[in-house]
Chain A
């Protein structure tokens, strides 16, 4: 059981800046995020896309913004629990008990949800028949590449994951790369490499096709792929890999007893607290009259949710408002050397 003042759910830009605001006012926190890295949508969806509306930063990419936020919170030495997801939360006396899918447990005075639009999960094939093979012969990520040795692997997708695995597995498996159009969106060097492998007969590329059927009993025997004109091709295969990027799902947050408005959590605009006392929601996941989904709005929401958390963590103290330019205690917390 990890004891802390606040548990922050989500390590996107808004969660990261909230860590800063908590640190500034002297509260400890731990952060849990489903992705394997910090940065949330900024790093997962648009690391290279420029952002033009961060105050005082005329232009920066999602990755630069993330790196700067990480730099800014360094003094607080916050623990991040990545590739994990908060599953259950329970109120006990004045604390929240939190449990993750990996079985980590936390005790905190409050929870700040900075969950974007939920957690990222792989997009799956739309065919219902795929379900019974998922995790056995149909995968959306590769955990153990040894199982593919000397087998036929059909890889679907046009991005870097699909290309990289086609290249990687081509040395020891019979690889088919199937994509819905002729252009691949992955790195040009990978596209070139795959085309070269095709010429050498090591990868078979089938474009303008999508999965249309899966046949097999206990195990997959073959799949059908179909093009826009309705032509169907049958392929014998042992494994199927699908790389269609990630989709955001609200996930377990829906079961925490919070009011929900579509996929969003209504909050008050004084402290961004939800209907559950001690649970706050900030950033894209929260909603209130006039809500704008901008990163800068999330920063403001985080600043207020951090202060809202103070009364739960330090019920006998009064929070004094201080400026970072002059406050000795803030300087100490930031490790500013005079």
Chain B
């Protein structure tokens, strides 16, 4: 279990407990957090679960695997702290993770 905070672009914040093994994307979708579309369902094929990871967290996360950076090219306004939330698997190590959501996903 890890407490994860999702901050909508409007500033509205949602902190929820996400089970280990789920992805940060699934945590959002299952809890109806607006702002993460995840059109492709987590197959890294759509870039609509894009989040900005808070700077202090960015380097603590597992590195991007092949293909994630390619998909981020297509995300809406990516920056150097961009990740696809479907590629972030929740574990105890992610306790306290904060992600910001873009204005929109596409």
Contacts and interface: CB of A to CB of B under 8 A. Distances in A.
A123 B45 contact: no
B46 A45 contact: yes
A15 to B, nearest CB: 17
Interface in B69-84: 69-70, 73-74, 76-80
A293 B42 CA distance: 10
A180 B73 contact: yes
Interface in B15-71: 37, 39-41, 43, 45-48, 69-70
Interface string A110-144: 00000001000001001000000000000000000
Interface residues of A, number: 24
A185 to B, nearest CB: 4
Contacts of A284: 41
Contacts of A23: none
Nearest to A294: B41
Q: Do most interface residues of chain A lie in helix, strand or loop, or is the interface mixed? A: loop
B73 A158 contact: yes
A157 B73 contact: yes
Category for how many chain B residues contact A: 20 to 34
A270 B6 CA distance: 38
A284 B80 CA distance: 32
Contacts of B74: 123, 244-245, 247
B76 A45 contact: no
A16 to B, nearest CB: 19
Nearest to B77: A126
Please list the 9 inter-chain residue pairs (A to B) with the smallest Cβ-Cβ separation, ordered nearest first.
A245-B74, A185-B70, A45-B45, A247-B106, A244-B74, A117-B39, A228-B80, A293-B41, A158-B73
Interface of B: 37, 39-41, 43, 45-48, 69-70, 73-74, 76-80, 103, 106
